[in-house]
Structure 1
Amino acid sequence: MGTREPDAANPEFLTVEEAAVLLRVNRKTLYESIRLAQVPGVIHIGRSIRIHRDALLAWRPGNGGPALGENR
């Protein structure tokens, strides 16, 4: 697989809202998962949060761990 150039349709970094749509989860659930450090590729820029698209797409949360947003 080669390196893909980011464009307007596929930006390199996503907002939490964009990542939630991509993962098909509620935005609040994703915020809680980020707070619990369950999501890879998260970058805090001031008060903003961005998520690296490739890290998110490569991430495969397993059934052995807690569900998104669940603290076990």
Structure 2
Amino acid sequence: MNLPEVTWRKSTHSGGQGECLEIADGLPAGSPVPVRDSKHPDGPHLLFPAPAWAAFIASVKAARN
């Protein structure tokens, strides 16, 4: 997947320790979710299927409650 037009963002819960993941914003709904290591922005990225990413986020939110 070519990602030149996406905007990468870090989690709002990033502690500023330099050990952050970034996700790409601006892709159509249902697209795979690109994730990369913020320390290596020009390095590879992983693609997660949208339903799997949504399930991951839901489980993280549920664990905080």
Structure-2-length-normalised TM-score: 0.27
Higher helix share: 1
Higher RCO by CA contacts (8 Å cutoff, separation 6 or greater):
1
- Report the TM-score, using the length of structure 1 for normalisation: 0.26
**Higher-strand-fraction structure:** 2
